[in-house]
Structure formats: C-alpha cells, structure tokens
A and B are shown apart, each in its own frame.
With several copies, the nearest count.
Chain A
Amino acid sequence: MRELIDLDRAQRRRLPDWSEIVDRLRSSTRDTAVAVLRRGGGRPALQPRCGVGGHPEMLALLRALDRAGAPDLLSVTIDSHTRLRHFATADRARRENPGQLNGYPLVAHGWERGRALVDAVGVPLQVRHGSPDGRDLFAVSLAAGITSFEGGGIGYNIPYAKDVPLAESLRAWQQVDAVTAALAGHGVVLERELFGSLTAVLVPPSLSLAMTLLEALLAAEQGVRCVSVSYPQSGEVHQDVAALRAIRSVAARYLPADMTVFTVLHEFMGVFPADRGWAEALVHYGGLVGRIGAADKVITKTRQEAHGIPTAAANAEGLRLARAACSPLLDFIRLNEDRVTEEQAWIETEVAALVEPVLNRAPTLAAGICAAFADGTLDIPFSASVHAHAAVVPLRDPTGAVRYHSPGALPLPRAALDRQRGLLNQRTGRITEKILADINYFAAREPWAAEPEEATA
C-alpha cells in the first residue's frame, strides 16, 4: 500500500509499517465511522467539530464531549499550520504555546498520541482539516487507527489555500483515495467525506453538489466505493431539504451503482449570530433540517461560533440542541413538499449543467476539472485560491434561499438563471449592500432575548 502514496520522508520514517497499520485497523473491535453511519437508526448521526492544541487538553475535550454531548462521532479538528503542511511551525507552537493553536496538530503530536485519542472515547473519530495536500496527515491518521478522513482535491484546496495548483491537490487526493480503496480491499472501509461547504458563505447548493460530485467521481476512479457527501445548510429549509435529497438523486445518476453515499449536513457554516438565543435557535434548526432531509450525519455548530473556538460545555450543548431536533417527538413536522420538489428539480438541472461539460472534456477527469477552473466554467464565490475566478456572485432571494445573482462563466442553463433573476429582482438596493446583508443574514437579526453570553458557564 505504501507505494500508492508519496509521503514526506521524515514522516515515513516515523510511521509504523504499513502492514502493522492495516492489521491494527482490521483487527480493531471498535466501531468504525462507517459502521456508525450504516447502523443509522432513523435519525442523523451527530458530530461536533473539536480540536485544541495540547494533547492532554485534547483528551479532556474529547472525553468531556463524549460524556456530556452524547455524540455519535467525534472530530479531531486540525490546526491551520498543519493543514498547510507547516509541520515545523505546528510542532514549535504545540511545544511552546499549545493553548493558542486553533486545532490539534496531529502530525506534530504523532500517531502514538493519535491512538490515545482513539482509545479515550467510545465513538469513532474523524480527522477534519482543510489540507490541499493531506497525505501525511492521512497516513498519521491511519496509523492512529482513525477510520474517517475528510477532504478532497477541490474542496480542500480552493477555500483553504492561496496558490496550490489544482493539479497538485487533485493528485495528492487521488493517492489518498487509492489507499482508501486498497484498505477497503482489506476489509477496512473508511469514511471518506467530501467537504461541500467550500467558502461556506452564500454557496449555491448546485455549486456545492457539483464539486462534491466531481470529487466523488475522482474517488470512484481510484476504486473508492463509499463516500460521504457534505452540504452546507443555506438556511432556507425547502432549499436545504431539496439539496440533501438531490445528493442522492445526483449520486444515483452519475456515480457507480455499487457506491455507497452517505449524506452529511453541515449546520450553518456562514457568519453566525452573536446573540445567544439566535445562535441556539440556529444550531437547533440545523439539526432539524438535517433530520427532515434525512441526512445520515449532521455536523453541529455551537452558540459560541461567532465568538471563538467553543468551550467543551458550549460544544456539548450544541450537540444536545441538535439531538433534541432529531427526536422522534418531532416526526409530525411537515414541509410544503411542492416547494421542495421544485427546488430539487432545479438543483438537479443545474448540477447536470455544471458537471457534464467537465465529464466530456480533456484526457482525464482531473485534467478536465483543472481546465474548467482555469476558464471559469467551474468557479466559486469568495475563493481563497487564485486558481478560481471568484466571478460567481450569490445572493439570497426574498425567502432566504441562495441564488446566482451572477453566474460568472458557469454554464448554467438560461431557464435556471432566468428563474433566479426573477426571484432576486424582487429585492431592491445596491448590490454590495445586498451581499453584505446576505452574508450577515442570520448575524444581523435583532437580539432574540438580550442577556449576557456566558451566564450559565
């Protein structure tokens, strides 16, 4: 398996033998992440983001969340330095001032400590990061016995780096996928989750789905037969439920028939309200949307999202709010199904229009993707990377649904654009003001019930 993936030399030296890694994963009696998702149980599995710099602190955080939040899976959220392969910086920071890191530097702490994290809690762990090239992190995760790894060559590049050529990130992630497929051959099915949130701010659903679909196709090329496709809550329930359903319909249409696809909802990923009441309502609402949309998993947020890295207590409360939203007591809730059906049909049309030209292009899928980003026929708003045009301008329509105000060079069908323009024309005002208002769609609400933050802490 070692030959499938190029690792940093220093890293390779430190890792155990691949055979040991594989044997340990195979013989583990712990639940894998995929086992948890397969078990299902009629409601979404719940998972928080969580990661702090120090190792003892990370152990304590995982244990506290496991106990107080009753998650189905837990995260190891990686710090920014490690994401960008600044391993030396991460290592110095975790030695000198671990409390100031915005995540757990798993590569610097090393796989032995990773195993301690796995052993600390009763639920499987997932590594969540944002690395254009996550190969070393992946290898350390596997050595630690972690059975779920997030990312992909598009979604972990364009929003997460300035200048990593797409061809490079796609190649790195092809290697991750190849190892994932090989492990499945040994009976170890990893959760390979594709990050559909992109820049997380006003992402039109069809854009998110197009990107994760392309990443899923790349994974399929490498032999992967099980992926999780994530989608970021827009905040308009009919649109969000339609998008979650569209993940399945689009997957059925384009992905291999023997591919398992789990759907994941990211609770609202944009600018969160600072007001505690609104933040709590939004956290709950995310869980509810995930459940109505029959997501297999919901990644929860916290009432402290607008304020900083959350405390364990606030993170646990976020889980519990989402859990209350997933209760069977709420089975009675009905949506306007006509609206959902209409939205879903449009999303499917738009995804087809975005993806099909890429499939029919260039020698390889990866090359097609690179070419499409180069000419702007694939693109995202607010791109962090110079390798996307960032010519797409999204806006919310009067219901709050996210639409294409300007598609840039995206090859969206005329009918779809006309419909969206029709919806957007109902709003007046200057475009920059509208964008700002839409970025702050939830953050700008009047306080829901004024009272000091941390009053219960």
Chain B
Amino acid sequence: MGDTAFRSRRRLVLGVAASDAHAVANRLIHLMLVQQGFRPHNLGVCTPLAEFADAAADLDAAAVIVGSVNGHAVEDLRGLPDLRRMGRLRCPVVFGGRPSIDAAGHPAARARLRDLGVDHVLDRPEELPAVLDSILSAALTHA
C-alpha cells in the first residue's frame, strides 16, 4: 500500500447534503476512512453546504466530501458558486453517491455538479482513497 502516513496530516470534512437523511453510507464511509488512516470529521446527514464550509475553515480541512443519494444533489449544492466567490469554501469538493433521482438523470446531474464547481464526482466509496490521496499530497506539496 505504500506510505500513507500523510493521510493523517490534514483533516477532511465529511457529511451528507442538506436535504438528505440517508445515514448508512455516511457511517460506513466514515468508518472506512478512519480505518485507512484518514482523519475525517463527520457532520452527518442533512448538512447545509455552509456548514461544510464553516467546518472546513475551522479545521483547515484539505477537502470537503459531500454525500447524497436522495437525488437532490444538484439542488443541495447550488450554493457552492456563491460560497466559492465569497471565499468561504476554498478546498476541493468531492461529491459521492447518486447524483440524480434515477439512472437516466445521472449524466446530466454529474455535469451540473461539475459546473457548480465540484472537483470530483464519484459513485463508489472505493474511488475515494485515491482521490483523497491526490488531493492531500497536492495540498501538502503546496503548503
């Protein structure tokens, strides 16, 4: 697996989007990240984007990880451009889960999420470590 000590150098903010109460994936992903040496701070379900931003600022987090499976990701992340503009959310934003309410809507929703400024749009938790590693190592290099 190589040296993963750098994973614990910066905090990560984890949570579920504002309108979404699905807790199971969030709990499991939290567990997985801890087991793999990351240091996630879990805001849990139904978390407005502004709370992600505040927590990221407070903890000087390397990334914000927003989960959503209820189909409302685009709506729940619509405030992202404003937060970016106001400088309230500076670190990379990773999205994971179901981007839309059905399979047919996923491609368009993924594109919308990227337009909103989401840096990584993932489907499966297994994709997360590699993406976080790249974010963390970039952050540590530039720091």
Q: Which A positions have Cβ atoms within 8 angstroms of B?
A: 79-81, 83-84, 86, 89, 93, 97, 100-102, 130, 159-163, 199, 201, 304, 307-309, 382-384, 386, 390, 432, 436, 439
Contact = CB atoms under 8 A, between A and B. Distances in A.
B117 interface: no
Contact of B19 (A81, A201, A307, A383): A81
Contacts of B101: 100-102, 308-309
Interface of B: 18-24, 27-28, 31, 44-47, 70-72, 74-75, 98, 100-105, 109
A161 B104 CA distance: 28
A100 B44 contact: no
Contact of A161 (B46, B72, B98): B46
Contacts of A84: 18-19, 21, 46
A309 B71 contact: yes
Q: Determine chain B's interface SS by DSSP, over half rule.
A: loop
B114 to A, nearest CB: 16
A439 B104 CA distance: 26
A351 B6 CA distance: 48
Q: Determine chain A's interface SS by DSSP, over half rule.
A: loop
B103 A382 contact: no
B70 A102 contact: yes
A362 to B, nearest CB: 27
Given A80-B21, A101-B101, A304-B102, 16 more contacts: A80-B72, A86-B19, A89-B19, A100-B101, A100-B109, A101-B72, A163-B46, A307-B103, A308-B71, A308-B100, A308-B102, A382-B24, A384-B21, A384-B23, A384-B45, A436-B28
B21 A159 contact: yes
B21 A130 contact: yes
Give the 3 A-B residue pairs with the shortest CB-CB distance, closest first: A308-B102, A384-B23, A80-B19
Contacts of B100: 100, 308
A386 B103 contact: no
Contacts of B98: 308
